[in-house]
Amino acid sequence: MTTLVDLTTLTFSGLHLRAADAGKLRGYFAAAFGDRSILFHNHTEEDGFRYAYSNIQYKVLGGVPTVVGVAEGARLVLLAFADVEELNLDGQRVRVDDKELRADRIEAGVIDELREYRLATPLFMFNQDNYALFRTLPDAEGAAFLTKLLRSHLVTALRGIGCTVTPERPIMVLPRLEKRLVNVKNQPMQMYVGTFTANVALPPAIGIGKSISKGFGTVVPA
């Protein structure tokens, strides 16, 4: 079963940033528009953090700063577009002379065919507990565990954008991933790059895994 999902993509093609600057992009939008919706920053006054799929995601893809709003985040990014005249990136003000907005309705969900996807940014696969478990597993069991985690991240993403995923129609996934160490706050973290095949339709450039609001785990058609 598939669902039509709203997707808004805001790009600043006149700017060139490093992938590590996605957090600075998030910081600007959180400060500038956070009073409009919690979805711009995912922090709550009560609990400190909103533990749910991030419907607004900040990325640097091919050097281009990109904001993706999906499902309920799509309208918020659309409304913010006109108000972005400059970016304050960690104290550095950058005039925006070239910005582009694209609004689509995309079919998403579990489907009957297999599709190929590529990780455009490293996938942050683990939390602390499942990484500790993964390190104890032999190679074959570790590979199966990675496949299980990837499937779980796909389920979380699809449900987070309003799609229905049921045990009666499971997600099948074949990963072809390679390890990559990525520095996060000066700490090397084990992440993954590569491709995978799955019976899912995903909106382009949405994220899966951990820290997707900061650009990790961005999935594009292979």
Does position 212 have pLDDT exceeding 60, yes or no? Answer: yes
Q: Mean of the pLDDT values across residues 181-204?
A: 95
pLDDT of residue 1: 81
- Is the domain covering 2-104 a CATH 1.10.260 domain? no
Q: What's the distance, CA 89 to chain centroid?
A: 20
The per-residue pLDDT of the chain, averaged, comes to 92
pLDDT tier, 48 (very low <50, low <70, confident <90, very high otherwise): low
pLDDT of residue 86: 87
pLDDT digits (tens, 9 = 90+) for 56-99: 999 999 999 999 999 999 999 999 998 998 888 877 888 888 89
pLDDT tier, 44 (very low <50, low <70, confident <90, very high otherwise): low
CB 219 within 8 A of CB 68: no
What percentage of the chain exceeds 90 in pLDDT? 77
CB 22 within 8 A of CB 120: no
The structure tokens listed for 90 are 């960690």
pLDDT of residue 129: 92
Question: What backbone phi and psi angles, to 5 degrees, belong to 183?
Answer: -75, 125
Please state which CATH class domain 109-221 belongs to.
alpha beta
Outline which parts of the chain fall under CATH 3.30.70.1900: 109-221
pLDDT of residue 201: 98
| Residue 195: exposure state from Cβ atoms within 10 A (0-12, 13-18, ≥19) | middle
Q: Mean of the pLDDT values across residues 106-116?
A: 98
pLDDT digits (tens, 9 = 90+) for 112-122: 999 999 999 99
Does position 42 have pLDDT exceeding 80, yes or no? Answer: no
Cα dist from 3 to 67, 123, 164, 198, whole Å: 22, 25, 8, 17
